[in-house]
Structure 1
């Protein structure tokens, strides 16, 4: 049975591209699709949970964790490394800890290295 992977990131319309000049909304949307395709082609059952910057993010993550019951949760760099999302990152970590305590947690640096991050844990 393939390992289930839940990828948590910001929706492409929630990203401040001034902080990520190598990305654009279009590039990020394509990258999201490529990540899922790449993971699925490598034997994982993967799905994105793309959130806003906090208004409903906690609820979205909780619902995705309850529905998907992932083996691995990847928290994207947009949530994790932007100081403006510090509280969101903290909330996401605590939600994952509470709702999926057996899941491994992985981190990418950009969408393009998500497979490497997942392979480190499964």
Structure 2
């Protein structure tokens, strides 16, 4: 392992997104969290929906603990209608993340590998 430090994973809450089956994403997130545990890395989740006060939720998460890396999930990045929300999330991390590295996962169960690229 290249290093350790607490990680925050920010993504869409699959359980609260209407119109699709959340179970595959919930399972992938659980696998991702288990991978962090296997590596001995403390990782917190911040799962949001576009309908809530995303800024308040994310700022509270970012300022609640000291993070070495923040992983932003593909659900926020890859869905064109959420481009503005994705930009807001990146800027919130830059503003309130206390110098945390920013990483992007390819899948919900790949968050640990994304963080490991930046943890020293």
Query: Shorter-normalised TM-score: what interval?
Result: 0.7 to 0.9
CA distance in 2, matches of 1:93, 1:15: 24
C-alpha distance in 2 between matches for 1:16 and 1:96: 29
Q: Which residue in 1 is equivalent to 2:17?
A: 14
Q: In structure 2, what is the Cα distance between the partners aligned to 1:121 and 1:16?
A: 35
Q: How big is each residue's C-alpha offset from its partner over 1:77-117, in whole Å with a ceiling of 9 and x where there is no partner?
A: 00011111111111111111110141000001111222221
Post-superposition shift, 1:2? Answer: 4.3
Answering whether residue 1 of structure 2 is matched by residue 4 of structure 1, we say: no
Match of 2:32 in 1: 35
| Number of aligned positions between the proteins | 116
Aligned counterparts, 1:1-122, within 5 A: 2-12=4-14, 13-14=16-17, 17=20, 24-122=21-119
Structure 2: tracts of 5 or more residues without a match: none
Does the C-alpha gap of structure 1 residues 28 and 85 become closer, same or farther in structure 2, counting only changes over 3 Å? Answer: same
Judged with a 3 Å threshold, the aligned counterparts in structure 2 of structure 1 residues 16 and 85 are, in CA distance, closer, same or farther, namely farther
Superposition deviation, residue 31 in structure 1:
1.6
Question: Which whole-Å CA distance do the structure 2 matches of 1:50 and 1:94 have between them?
Answer: 17
Q: Secondary structure at the match of 2:118?
A: coil
CA RMSD of superposed structures (Å): 1.8
Question: Structure 1: which 5+ runs fail to align?
Answer: 18-23
Q: What's the CA shift for 1:68?
A: 2.1
**Where do 4+ consecutive residues of structure 1 move more than 6 Å?**
none
